[in-house]
Amino acid sequence: MENLDRIEIRDVLLRCIVGINEAERKNKQDVLINIVMWADTRAAAQSDDIADAVNYRTVTKQIIEHVEASEYFLVERLVERIAQICLRHERVQQVQVSVEKPGALRFARSVGVTITRTRADLERA
């Protein structure tokens, strides 16, 4: 996005219930999460004050708590919820979230879903 900076959270490996098969409903599986948030970081750079920044530690803690407690059937639902968590932080204008399930498909390292959402999408939800 124009005049916005990228904040990246890479390779968050968590375990949760996600899937439609019986075994997936009983046993937590690994999910690999990658996030890019777009925000104007100039105020934080100028002030050197966390109050002017996207506190990515807080965002990450909220995502960890949500994912580890979640029980979704579809990765699509999980990835959407993570995007909503990110966009609830007022400085985040847009987010791209990718969630992969390593080993979910035979012969594939992983399978995943990537979405991009904006603040306007959050307001419509």
Query: Known catalytic residue: 61?
Result: no
d(CA 36, CA 67): 17
Options 26, 28, 61, 101, the catalytic residue: 101
Cα distances (Å, whole numbers) of residue 69 to 19, 57, 107: 14, 18, 29
Residue 71 near residue 16, CB atoms below 8 Å: yes
pTM, two decimal places: 0.94
Residues 6+ apart with CB under 8 A from 24: 17, 18
Return the domain boundaries, the chain: 5-124
pLDDT for the residue numbered 106: 86
- Identify the CATH number of the domain defined by range 5-124: 3.30.1130.10
For residues 67 and 58, what is the distance between their CA atoms, to the nearest angstrom?
A: 14
Spans in the chain with pLDDT lower than 70: 1, 125
Predicted pLDDT of residue 55? 96
Residues 6+ apart with CB under 8 A from 116: 94, 95, 96
